[in-house]
Chain A
Amino acid sequence: MHHTIFFDNASSTRTDARVFEKMKPFFMQKYGNPSSLHDMGQEAKDAIEEARDRGAALLGVAAQEIYFTSCGTESNNFALWGLAKSLQDKGKHIISSSIEHISILNPLKELKKQGWDYTLLPVDSFGMVNPEDLAKEIRKDTVLISIMHANNEVGTIQNLKTLAKIASEKDITFHSDGIAAAGIIPMDLKDLGVDAYSISSQQMYGPKGAGAVYVQKGHRLKPYLLGGTQERGRRAGTENVPAIVGFGEAAKLAAEEMHIHAAHITGLRDAFIKGIMDQIKNVKLNGHPQKRLPGNVHISFEYIEGESILLLLNMEGIAAASGSSCASQALKNSQVLLSMGLTPTTAQGSILFSLGKFNTMQEVDRVLEVLPAIIDKLRKMSPLYKEE
């Protein structure tokens, strides 16, 4: 089997070798439980606190405002449930957007069953939320707003500062899902003005099994994992020490090297988009032309269906995705694309190529070599396609 070209960095990233080295001792030598009083316990505790410092530094916040979780989904659940339940005496209305990840949308549906109400803001054809829409939808009983920073499918980056300001002027708690953005684009959460922010390790060249939430000091948050006093009582359960250590190292590397990688990845992205546009007709780039993640190439190929494109790419050793991998087994059309106004047929033929720091221009060239023939083969099979 030849070398796989991994253009699916939105689903997960390769763990950086330096991260892995840092994690290794925490399996067989430094395996103490951070809650134990003995030296091995304290050694593990210190390692977690060092990781917390690094996560905090990446986001521009204080270490005691960082809470570790097990993944991005848990981070979103932790923040949404925890904040909503602690605010319920003030009101039970939440505002979010129609392009959120299912780890926001599904908790919202569940909260609705329990007596909350929520409003999903529309987006424009680039996937942007209009701040005026947010201002309009705020009600007397609105207590929480959750709008993602960068979209995991189409890569659109919201004007988070403007949105957070509208919330803060009305004294409404503002959370953002930053899982696709953290460690990839620079940010200072204090400057953005958000009250809470979710991040995940595996999206920034760290291991799977660790996530984190920033919760600004002074906010109440009702825990849903009940047990010991880990994470200052807000998230009980023995910490996944190796993963958290790896996460910390990934955050440190991201803070130091992000700008170099962003330049490299943006170069690959733009060359790849240009190559596709030049060689293949009837394609559309989805997302915002400028305000997009450095590695995001989300393309609709007219007249054909996404899974068959992915299968043929896979045969060539190329890994890409059709929409969110969390939703891909459901065989449903992407809600994100439909919200942006794509027709269901066009949405069906959409592929997400997500590039990362380990990808190369040779890989871009290789994909550009095989992609036009794949699209052509499927179009010739399609009843919707009439050859010109």
Chain B
Amino acid sequence: MVEYSKQVIDHFMSPRNVGEIKDADGIGEVGNPTCGDMMTFYIKVKDHKLEDIKFKTFGCGAAIAVSSMVSELAMGKTLDEALSITNKDVAQKLGGLPKNKMHCSNLGADALHKAIQDYKQKNEK
């Protein structure tokens, strides 16, 4: 079925870190259901490190796999390290994504970065 890599299928079938964090320190949302993909990331931060990450995603197989991979890559990392993860890195780690999925579905890093920005804004006040 469609041209997904083994890694994409693995992360799609058994996504890591699905869910919500009730008392999240930061929340980031990208996309919208009209265009086909929407991702919400929740983070817990301790000593400038991502202590926990959870996500919820509406979208295709690629969108779910991307979300799962981002959460795995960023878990336990410092905020700066997490901010340096790019959408391209995520696609690479997944063994590549079909061309027509690169733009619409590959937004996981953006969603995570937004959650970190949200945390930073809240803590600057």
Q: Does A315 contact B (CB under 8 A)?
A: yes
Chain B nearest CB from A47 CB (Å) reads 38
Q: In the complex, A305 Cα to B15 Cα: how many Å?
A: 16
Q: Are B104 and A383 in contact (CB under 8 A)?
A: no
Chain A nearest CB from B72 CB (Å) reads 15
Q: Are A308 and B56 in contact (CB under 8 A)?
A: no
Chain A interface size, as a band, is 20 to 34
- Identify the closest chain B residue to A346 (Cβ): B33
Contacts of A71 in B (CB 8 A): none
Q: In the complex, A307 Cα to B38 Cα: how many Å?
A: 14
- As a 0/1 sequence over residues 320 to 349 of chain A, the CB contacts with chain B under 8 angstroms (1 = contact) are 000000000101010000000000110010
Q: Does A373 contact B (CB under 8 A)?
A: no
Contacts of B2 in A (CB 8 A): 307, 311
Q: Are A383 and B40 in contact (CB under 8 A)?
A: yes
Q: Does A28 contact B (CB under 8 A)?
A: no
- As a 0/1 sequence over residues 348 to 388 of chain A, the CB contacts with chain B under 8 angstroms (1 = contact) are 10000000000000000000000000000000111110000
Q: Does A95 contact B (CB under 8 A)?
A: no
Chain A nearest CB from B113 CB (Å) reads 17
- As a 0/1 sequence over residues 36 to 77 of chain B, the CB contacts with chain A under 8 angstroms (1 = contact) are 111110000000000000001111110110000000000000
Partner of A383, one of B13, B15, B36, B58: B58
Q: Does B34 contact A (CB under 8 A)?
A: yes
Q: In the complex, A304 Cα to B34 Cα: how many Å?
A: 12
Contacts of A311 in B (CB 8 A): 1-2, 4, 12, 60-61
Chain A nearest CB from B89 CB (Å) reads 22
Partner of B64, one of A308, A315, A331: A308
Q: Does A314 contact B (CB under 8 A)?
A: yes
Q: Are B34 and A314 in contact (CB under 8 A)?
A: no
Q: Does B121 contact A (CB under 8 A)?
A: no
Q: Are A348 and B33 in contact (CB under 8 A)?
A: yes
Assuming the A-B contacts A311-B1, A329-B100, are A383 and B29 also in contact, with contact meaning beta carbons closer than 8 angstroms in the complex? Answer: yes
Partner of B34, one of A312, A315, A344, A381: A344
Partner of B60, one of A305, A315, A380: A305
Per DSSP, are chain A's interface residues mostly helix, strand or loop, or mixed?
Answer: helix
Chain A nearest CB from B31 CB (Å) reads 10
* B36, B40, B104 pick with most chain A CB within 10 angstroms: B36
Partner of B58, one of A304, A315, A331: A304
Chain B interface size, as a band, is 20 to 34
Partner of A345, one of B33, B61, B64: B33
Q: Are A308 and B33 in contact (CB under 8 A)?
A: no
Partner of B36, one of A310, A315, A348, A384: A348
Q: Are B56 and A307 in contact (CB under 8 A)?
A: no
Q: Are B33 and A344 in contact (CB under 8 A)?
A: yes
Partner of A331, one of B34, B36, B40: B36
Q: Does B18 contact A (CB under 8 A)?
A: yes
Q: Are A384 and B58 in contact (CB under 8 A)?
A: yes
Q: In the complex, A258 Cα to B47 Cα: how many Å?
A: 71
Q: Does A6 contact B (CB under 8 A)?
A: no
Chain B nearest CB from A360 CB (Å) reads 23
Q: Does A303 contact B (CB under 8 A)?
A: yes
Q: Are A384 and B18 in contact (CB under 8 A)?
A: no
Assuming the A-B contacts A310-B1, A380-B18, A383-B39, are A305 and B58 also in contact, with contact meaning beta carbons closer than 8 angstroms in the complex? Answer: yes
Q: Which of B85-125 contact A (CB under 8 A)?
A: 100, 104
Chain B nearest CB from A383 CB (Å) reads 4
Q: Are B34 and A345 in contact (CB under 8 A)?
A: yes
* A314, A380, A381, A384 pick with most chain B CB within 10 angstroms: A381
Contacts of B34 in A (CB 8 A): 344-345
Q: In the complex, A344 Cα to B37 Cα: how many Å?
A: 12
Q: Are B64 and A381 in contact (CB under 8 A)?
A: yes
Assuming the A-B contacts A305-B58, A329-B100, are A315 and B13 also in contact, with contact meaning beta carbons closer than 8 angstroms in the complex? Answer: yes
Assuming the A-B contacts A329-B100, A383-B40, are A303 and B60 also in contact, with contact meaning beta carbons closer than 8 angstroms in the complex? Answer: no
Q: Are B33 and A381 in contact (CB under 8 A)?
A: no
Q: Which of B1-28 contact A (CB under 8 A)?
A: 1-2, 4, 12-13, 15, 18
Contacts of B13 in A (CB 8 A): 312, 315
A–B Cβ pairs within 8 angstroms, 16 of them: A305-B33, A305-B60, A305-B63, A307-B2, A307-B61, A308-B60, A311-B2, A331-B104, A333-B36, A344-B34, A348-B36, A380-B18, A381-B18, A382-B56, A384-B33, A384-B38
7 pairs of A and B residues whose beta carbons are closest in the complex: A307-B60, A345-B33, A383-B56, A344-B34, A383-B40, A314-B1, A311-B61
